[in-house]
Chain A
Amino acid sequence: SQQGEEDPQALSIQEGENATMNCSYKTSINNLQWYRQNSGRGLVHLILIRSNEREKHSGRLRVTLDTSKKSSSLLITASRAADTASYFCATDVYTGNQFYFGTGTSLTVIP
């Protein structure tokens, strides 16, 4: 069963604009993480937010977490062409040792 689902599936914006992508999940978690994947490459960890945190920042990234709605959002501010990639949320299950990735959002930043 898929734990996380991202929305939208694809997003195209102009350089300099902000990009927002959302993630919903199904069961209680310990942490939620966001990863980036450049085409055909391995995933790279971006940011981790714990279940008792509501917001976290890292450079141009801002992540929010709403455990009551079982959802998270990733905001990339002042986007650059180099931000073009797929973005995945990943959750662990509170009672287990498994890891679940969503289906991803494909972001295209047009120069």
Chain B
Amino acid sequence: EAQVTQNPRYLITVTGKKLTVTCSQNMNHEYMSWYRQDPGLGLRQIYYSMNVEVTDKGDVPEGYKVSRKEKRNFPLILESPSPNQTSLYFCASSTTWNQPQHFGDGTRLSIL
């Protein structure tokens, strides 16, 4: 089954404790992306990757890191999480950058 898998689905943690949200896709997609969704603001792109070893900042990259060492995986790293990063996060992938994206089920992060 074609899918984008995010883990964990839910996480409550404290300020400053490094965390990683994993994302994996099994569709051999080149383009992968991370979004955060906040009430009233819609989805905002954090980082995206056109292919392996190619990553770029989206609209709201501050406080986040990503890596793309393999085509299927695109982890999101919060080195020192802060409360303003409390949000619902989505990973997505597509064949190329302007084609339909497949979304994971989301990760709800709460930073206390």
Contact = CB atoms under 8 A, between A and B. Distances in A.
Contacts of A31: 98-99
Contacts of A104: 42
Contacts of B43: 43, 88, 101
Contacts of B48: 97-99
Contacts, number: 64
B97 A92 contact: yes
Given A41-B106, A43-B90, A88 B98 contact: no
A1 B42 CA distance: 12
A1 B59 contact: yes
Interface in A2-42: 2, 4, 30-31, 33, 40-42
B104 A30 contact: no
A42 B40 contact: no
Contacts of A1: 59
A44 to B, nearest CB: 7
Contacts of A100: 45, 59
Nearest to A5: B42
Interface of B: 4, 31, 33, 35, 40-45, 48, 50, 56, 58-59, 88, 90, 92, 97-106
Interface of A: 1-2, 4, 30-31, 33, 40-45, 48, 88, 90, 92, 97-104
